[in-house]
Amino acid sequence: MTTAQPDVSKWPFQSVLVANRGEIAVRVLRTVQKLGLKGIVVYHAADRGTAAVKMADQAIEITGPTPVASYLDGAQIIAAAQASGAGAIHPGYGFLSENKGFCAAVEAAGIRFIGPTPEQIDLMGDKVRARNFVEKAGFPVAPSAIEDDDPKTFVERSRKVGAPLLIKPSAGGGGKGMRIVRDLALLEQEIERGRSEGQRYFGDGRLYCERYIENPRHIEVQVLGDGQGSVVHAFERECSVQRRFQKIVEETPSPALDAALREKICETAAGIARSLNYRNAGTVEFIFGQGGEFYFLEMNTRLQVEHPVTEEITGIDLVLQQLRVAAGEKLGYGQADVKSSGHSIEFRIYAEDAARGYTPTTGPILVLHPPQGEGVRWDSGVLQGGEVTSAFDPMIAKLIIRGSDRNDAIARADKALRETVLLGCKTNTAFLRRLLQHPAFVAGDVHTGFLDANPQIAAEPEMPAETLQALLGAAALSTRPMRDVADAVPDMHAAMGGWRN
Amino acid sequence: MHHAFKLGDAEHNLELSRSASAYRLHLGEQVVDVDLKTGADGRAWLTLGERHIEVVIATRGDDVFVHLDGEAYQLRYQHPLDRLAAQAGGSAEDHIRAPMPGSIVSVTVKAGDAVAKGQTLLVMESMKMETTIAAPRDGTVAAVTYEKGQTFDRDALLLSLEPMEKKS
């Protein structure tokens, strides 16, 4: 679907401040500037040389006790917006994007928040309240027990949910503090551990338990709402390939769905958003069992990291839709107008060492040649000459591939990953190639525990002797002291051959 | 001369000599003709025996980064003098290095302290997880490199112990 370029002269804002960094700041600025609006970013000194700062029409430095803390300092960011005359703030993802207090403070300062209402953030930000809301609205949620309902009977009610079950902190996210219980004899002990982890990570020891789906898939649905009665979905994304509960590869369409199931899950998501009168782009996440059953997991009230695959198959610019809705426009189209074609896969390029437990790596970006070609999109916030530090998340870029079908997309992805040259800091590109060549991935038969169950994909494969020779040859010829020693021996001597030290 | 590169955890000994037209790489008993021609855009052609392979190479200090056949590798040149020094005195256990990049949560010892094997030396944080670094052996703390709150990269020297006295 291609929508006409809106007439921004009628919009209540003519400049947008991006309260974020890295690739997502670049992504948002691209649409903002394409519309002819002024794009402003805030940045910490650690990000001075990054793509977003260079690209922005105006960049304002912010400070804090740590680089991350500066991007979480809502008051300072609102002050920067006011100083620069920004009419709207786009929060990106992470940081302040789902912070009700920030959203409310932005609007109280007379600035448009490019996102949902504070009430919608608040409701969906509390997993327990969100789940109850969705259940009451008549949509499927996994069988569960919530401690807050009646703390005295929590253990007993958890036992009734049955094994296997999953204990989660109520205030949690990102997989922190989650525990799987397969043997109910260990239930009380695991609840105590989950409580102490929840207390430690989130300062909140409240828990809930839910039925654990074995080998589940993670399928989510992109929704768009204008807060004025219109909601559409823009199909699903499958994000089952994860490490440490974090997504690595996302694609659409999901290989797990047929047309009937696709319509069911997408309509369920749209129904949930409709019952909220949702405003903004959002994502409804589901846990999807091997038998085709699915349950509401959570709703993210922001732009998602993996939004580009949806853009690639639908032709919708999701940031543009966020801006239009924030400006007060109606969606202006219905579900039948949202069409998809082809297949798209996103690969998260992480500065990390897969073979060492996916631990983050750091280093200078001495050479960066992004891949190019038909169906290849490179969303990145780093530039050659930049540096990857441990100050921020290790995701440095996203490679988004579009193909006529899934096999075509996989073939293009393998070529693009091969051609991605990034020297100075170890990344996961070689690991991603091993992953996409795995028969289970090729067959579309993966689940969220797939990488844990197949640790050989992360392991460094044995190096062929020829590769080692080539590397040592290249390294020796690139090292001054070795060349100097070699050059010091007269050619004639060397030409006679057989020289050894 | 003793030249070597470290690749991953392995150390590879090698020598380089001139040939009539270019160079020869000596790996143990193997001798291979090698040459390297670099273009303006950083792409280069490596000659290895009869093969010509496109590579991209970048260097920084003693590190050589090579993009070869779709993958990136890092090799570190080992200075002959450093290697000699490493062989002469001290063991890996004397130098406690960071297993991953992170920051210091707390340091519980200072230079001169006697420590017992297994005793907590410091606590670091990486990826929102805390990791305790314990003494690998009994000994005396020689130096502590970082203070609470400071950040470091992987393999950074966090703390060193006095070398063990040689038993005579």
Whether residues A162 and A261 fall in one domain: no
Q: Closest Cα to residue A426, out of B40, B66, B81, B165?
A: B66
Whether residues A293 and A185 fall in one domain: no
pLDDT value at A40 more than 50: yes
pLDDT value at A472 more than 90: yes
Whether residues A39 and A159 fall in one domain: no
Residue of B nearest to A423 (CA): B65
Q: Does B105 touch chain A (CB under 8 A)?
A: no
**What's the average model confidence in pLDDT over A22-32?**
98
Number of domain units in chain A: 4
Element (H, E) at A417: helix A406-419
Mean pLDDT, rounded, of chain A: 93
Q: Does A387 touch chain B (CB under 8 A)?
A: no
Which CATH number do you get for residue A192? Answer: 3.30.1490.20
Whether residues A322 and A429 fall in one domain: yes
pLDDT value at A330 more than 50: yes
Asked if the structure places residue A127 within a domain, the reply is: no
Model confidence, pTM: 0.86
Under 8 Å CB pairs connecting chains A and B tally to 164
- The residue with tokens 């993996």 is A306
Residues 175-204 of A with CB under 8 A from B: 176, 201
Element (H, E) at A234: strand A231-243
Whether residues A223 and A202 fall in one domain: no
What is the pLDDT at residue A203? 81
Last residue of a domain, one of A211, A237, A267: A211
What is the pLDDT at residue A500? 47
In chain A, what residues touch B151 (CB-CB under 8 Å)?
Answer: 390-391
Q: Cβ separation of B18 and A429 shorter than 8 Å?
A: no
Asked if the structure places residue A15 within a domain, the reply is: yes
Q: Does B13 touch chain A (CB under 8 A)?
A: no
Q: What Å distances lie between residue A268 and A259, A278, A309, B75, B134, CA to CA?
A: 14, 14, 20, 52, 52
Whether residues A413 and A270 fall in one domain: yes
**What's the average model confidence in pLDDT over A6-24?**
97
Tallying the residues shown for chain B, one arrives at 168
Whether residues A451 and A486 fall in one domain: no
Asked if the structure places residue A199 within a domain, the reply is: yes
Q: Cβ separation of B3 and A364 shorter than 8 Å?
A: no
Asked if the structure places residue A409 within a domain, the reply is: yes
For residues A359 and A323, is the Cβ–Cβ distance under 8 A? no
Q: Does B112 touch chain A (CB under 8 A)?
A: no
Cα of A425 to nearest chain B Cα, Å: 9
In this structure, what DSSP letter does residue A288 have? E
pLDDT value at A416 more than 80: yes
Whether residues A364 and A226 fall in one domain: yes
Which tops the pLDDT comparison, A501 or B74? B74
Is the peptide bond between A253 and the residue preceding it cis, with omega within 30 degrees of 0?
Answer: yes
**What's the average model confidence in pLDDT over A107-129?**
95
Which CATH number do you get for residue A364? Answer: 3.30.470.20
Asked if the structure places residue A450 within a domain, the reply is: yes
pLDDT value at A160 more than 70: yes
pLDDT value at A1 more than 80: no
What is the pLDDT at residue A496? 53
Q: How far apart are CA A128 and CA A141, in angstroms?
A: 11
pLDDT tens for residues A46-81? 999 999 999 999 999 999 988 999 999 999 999 999
Q: How far apart are CA A464 and CA B23, in angstroms?
A: 22
Q: Cβ separation of A201 and B71 shorter than 8 Å?
A: no
Q: Cβ separation of A489 and B67 shorter than 8 Å?
A: no
Q: How confident is the model at residue A489 (pLDDT cuts 50, 70, 90)?
A: confident
Residue A238 CA, chain-centre distance (Å), reads 12
Listed in sequence order, the residues at least 6 apart from A379 whose beta carbon sits closer than 8 Å to its beta carbon are A23, A26, A27, A308, A397, A398, A400
What is the pLDDT at residue B148? 87
Element (H, E) at A104: helix A100-108
Q: How far apart are CA A451 and CA A246, in angstroms?
A: 11
pLDDT tens for residues B12-63? 999 999 998 899 999 999 999 999 998 877 789 999 999 999 999 999 999 9
Asked if the structure places residue A428 within a domain, the reply is: yes
In chain B, what residues touch A359 (CB-CB under 8 Å)?
Answer: 99-100, 126-127, 154
Whether residues A294 and A376 fall in one domain: yes
DSSP E strand stretches across A38-131: 38-43, 58-61, 88-90, 112-113
Choose among B69, B77, B100: nearest Cβ to A360. Answer: B100
Residues spanned by the domain of A158:
143-211
pLDDT value at B124 more than 90: no
Choose among B34, B60, B100: nearest Cβ to A473. Answer: B34
pLDDT tens for residues B129-165? 677 888 888 899 999 989 888 888 888 889 998 887 6
φ, ψ at A496 (rounded to 5°)? -70, -20
Whether residues A97 and A174 fall in one domain: no
Residue B9 CA, chain-centre distance (Å), reads 8
What is the pLDDT at residue A499? 47
Which CATH number do you get for residue A99? Answer: 3.40.50.20
Q: Closest Cα to residue A411, out of A374, A461, A448?
A: A374
Q: How confident is the model at residue A373 (pLDDT cuts 50, 70, 90)?
A: very high
Whether residues A176 and A93 fall in one domain: no
What is the pLDDT at residue B103? 85
Residues 67-96 of B with CB under 8 A from A: 67-75, 77, 79
Residue of A nearest to B153 (CA): A362
**Domains within chain B, CATH numbers bracketed:** 3-82 (3.30.700.30), 91-161 (2.40.50.100)
Cα of B51 to nearest chain A Cα, Å: 10
Residues 64-123 of A with CB under 8 A from B: none
In chain B, what residues touch A471 (CB-CB under 8 Å)?
Answer: 7, 66, 68, 73, 75
What ipTM was predicted for this assembly?
0.87
Q: Cβ separation of A474 and B46 shorter than 8 Å?
A: yes
pLDDT tens for residues A165-211? 999 888 776 667 788 999 999 999 999 988 888 888 778 889 989 88
pLDDT tens for residues A259-290? 999 999 999 999 999 999 999 999 999 999 98
Asked if the structure places residue A133 within a domain, the reply is: no
Give the pair of three-digit tokens for residue A116: 């949902």
Whether residues A440 and A471 fall in one domain: no
